[in-house]
């Protein structure tokens, strides 16, 4: 029996990568009145394709349900992410000389947090964002934004209107696309003959090496080795001519794509280097994927051990942040408000709500100053430095920070 077909190559999915049990959708925050209602839980079971080695989830919810108006993620609330966007813009303009005659198109442009930097540099922009509330925030800030899902159909439509992209970018969107081949076909259609595509996504190699099982959640359909990303683009007549490793989200890749027939882009040595690194890891060998599920179980045991011991010693523990990865972690580990009393988040859209599944309440970060907990569990561990700097005052009463991944660890 197979669990369906690979969303890239169509081979039957037979090999479990990691089964995280049943979990609610990670962005399905609850209001107080919803706490007594039935909450949908879905299997969170990742498979690895034995043919192309794409790690993937089956799709249970349609993207329209996931990215509805209630979608609570506004990019602009993270300082680290804003700085990442600003530096990216500078790098792209410097390297590819985009100017007033260019068009930069961002897919899943959120509230316009990134395109604002191109706009300030007088480079024309277009955002494409399916979540209407995020798109409205962008339009209000003067960033032209279409409230649409990107795919081949929209690309053809835009091209017919005379629009095509000098730079076509998507950060953390490739992983969230259910119809992967249709999406990449759309990139091919919308790209100018000498245009550049950049896409960022968490690198599967890091996920495995650093035990980042909490980055697996329902809205995140695909987990790529570079090896597989290259095949996905090649199938649509696109080549990857460069790649960079980034520290974002615990270790991401930024890939650079162009038309296969574009002779103006030399292929960087970094492409062969990364393919070689992945080959040495055994990325195209199913045996390399066999230990991951056990690592996740060990991490769960260590986190629970820490929390239970701390509670037994009379300590108080609260969370910081309400990211998607936190929901996977807390649901998989079975951590409820008896262990982690509450969490805090800077986004006013999340404050006053409850985490899905675990029903841990979310407050304004100020709550930590008022209640003086002993431990603060940083759920977005990928931005732990930023969190620790913002919350430096907790050291006044001797509070300590804890990260859950790659294993529970108290930071002094």
Among candidates 228, 246, 114, which has minimal Cα distance to 169? 114
Instruction: Point out which span in 47-55, 131-139, 232-240, 262-270 binds Zn ion (CB under 5 A).
Output: 47-55
| Closest by CA position to 89, among listed 110, 109, 116 | 116
- Give the binding-site size for Zn ion (rule: CB under 5 A): 8
Residue 322 to residues 150, 349, 378, Cα–Cα distance (Å):
27, 11, 9
Cβ closest to Zn ion, residue 159 vs residue 235: 235
Residue with Cβ nearer Zn ion (157 or 182): 182
Mark out the alpha helices in 196-291 (DSSP H runs).
204-209, 226-235, 269-281
Of residues 217, 213, 382, the one with CA closest to residue 295? 213
Minimal distance, residue 9 CB to Zn ion, in Å: 3
Residues 6+ positions from 134 with CB-CB distance below 8 Å: 71, 73, 74, 110, 111
Interaction mask 10-29, Zn ion, x per CB under 5 A: -x------------------
Which of the residues 202 through 261 are near Zn ion (CB under 5 A)?
A: none
- 106 near 173, Cβ under 8 Å? no
Of 9, 132, 147, 246, the one binding Zn ion by CB under 5 A: 9
Is residue 333 within 8 A of residue 40, CB to CB? The reply is: no
Q: Does 48 bind Zn ion (CB under 5 A)?
A: no
Instruction: Return the range that interacts with Zn ion (CB under 5 A); candidates 42-50, 128-136, 142-150, 259-267.
Output: 42-50
- Closest CB 8 distance from Zn ion, rounded Å: 5
Instruction: Specify the residue, 51 or 347, whose C-beta has the smaller distance to Zn ion.
Output: 51
Quick one: tokens of 247?
């520290």
Q: Is 6 in the site for Zn ion (CB under 5 A)?
A: yes
Part in contact with Zn ion (CB under 5 A); list of ranges 3-11, 249-257, 283-291, 398-406: 3-11
Q: How far apart are the first and last CA of the chain?
A: 49
Q: Are strands 238-246 and 343-344 parallel, antiparallel or unpaired?
A: unpaired
52 binds Zn ion (CB under 5 A): yes
Shortest separation between residue 227's beta carbon and Zn ion, angstroms: 12
DSSP letters spanning 27-66: T--B-GGGTTS----EEEEEEE-TTT--EEE---S-HHHH
Smallest gap from Cβ 131 to Zn ion, in A, equals: 29
Burial 24-46 (b: 16+ CB within 10 A, else e): bbbbbbbeeeeeeeeeeeeebbb
With CB under 5 A as the contact rule, the residue among 16, 34, 51, 390 that binds Zn ion is 51
Scanning 50-58, 168-176, 306-314, 349-357 for contacts with Zn ion by CB under 5 A, the matching segment is: 50-58
Q: Rounding to the nearest 10 degrees, give the CA dihedral for residues 259, 89, 246, 223.
A: -50
Nearest to Zn ion of 6, 310 (CB atom): 6
Q: How far is the CB of 271 from Zn ion (least distance, A)?
A: 21
Residue 5 C-beta: closest distance to Zn ion, Å: 8
55 binds Zn ion (CB under 5 A): no
Q: How far is the CB of 151 from Zn ion (least distance, A)?
A: 20
Does position 104 bind Zn ion by CB under 5 A?
Answer: no
**49 is an interface residue for Zn ion by CB under 5 A:** yes
Provide the minimum distance between the beta carbon of 50 and Zn ion in the complex, in angstroms, as a whole number: 8
Nearest-10 crossing angle of helices 324-333, 292-312: 80
Shortest distance in whole angstroms from residue 272 CB to Zn ion: 23
The answer to whether 181 contacts Zn ion (rule: CB under 5 A) is no
Contacts of 117 (CB under 8 A, 6+ apart): 85, 86, 89, 90
Using CB under 5 A as the criterion, which residues of the chain lie in contact with Zn ion when the complex forms?
6, 8-9, 11, 49, 51-52, 54
């Amino acid at each position: 029996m197979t669990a369906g077909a690979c969303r890239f190559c169509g081979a039957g999915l037979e090999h479990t990568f990691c089964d995280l049990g049943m979990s609610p959708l990670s962005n399905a925050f609850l209001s107080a009145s919803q706490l007594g209602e039935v909450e949908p839980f879905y299997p969170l079971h990742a498979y690895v394709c034995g043919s192309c080695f794409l790690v993937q989830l089956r799709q249970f919810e349609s993207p329209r349900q996931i990215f509805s108006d209630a979608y609570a993620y506004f990019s602009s609330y993270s300082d680290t992410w804003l700085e990442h966007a600003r530096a990216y813009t500078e790098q792209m303009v410097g390297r590819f000389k985009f100017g007033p005659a260019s068009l930069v198109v961002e897919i899943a442009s959120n509230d316009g947090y990134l395109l604002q930097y191109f706009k300030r540099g007088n480079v024309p922009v277009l955002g494409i964002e399916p979540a209407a509330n995020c798109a409205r925030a962008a339009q209000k800030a003067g960033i032209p934004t279409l409230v649409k899902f990107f795919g081949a159909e929209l690309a053809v439509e835009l091209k017919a209107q005379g629009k095509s992209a000098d730079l076509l970018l998507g950060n953390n969107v490739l992983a969230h696309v259910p119809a992967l081949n249709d999406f990449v076909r759309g990139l091919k259609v919308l790209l100018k003959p000498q245009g550049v595509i950049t896409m960022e996504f968490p690198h599967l190699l890091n996920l495995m090496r650093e035990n980042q099982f909490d980055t697996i959640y329902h809205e995140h359909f695909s987990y790529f080795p570079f090896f597989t990303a290259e095949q996905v683009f090649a199938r649509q007549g696109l080549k990857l001519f460069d790649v960079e490793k980034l520290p974002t989200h615990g270790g991401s890749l930024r890939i650079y794509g162009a038309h296969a027939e574009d002779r103006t882009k030399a292929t960087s040595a970094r492409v062969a280097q990364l393919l070689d690194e992945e080959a040495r890891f055994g990325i195209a060998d199913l045996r390399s994927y066999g230990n991951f599920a056990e690592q996740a179980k060990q991490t769960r045991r260590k986190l629970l051990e820490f929390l239970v011991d701390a509670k037994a010693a009379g300590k108080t523990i609260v969370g910081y942040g309400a990211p998607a990865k936190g929901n996977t972690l807390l649901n998989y580990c079975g951590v409820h408000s008896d262990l982690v009393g509450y969490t805090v988040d800077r986004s006013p859209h999340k404050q006053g709500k409850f985490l899905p599944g675990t029903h841990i309440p979310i407050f304004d970060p100020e709550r930590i100053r008022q209640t003086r907990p002993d431990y603060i569990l940083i759920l977005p561990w990928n931005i732990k430095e930023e969190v620790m700097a913002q919350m430096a005052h907790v050291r006044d009463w001797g509070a300590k920070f804890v990260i859950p991944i790659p294993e529970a660890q108290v930071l002094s």
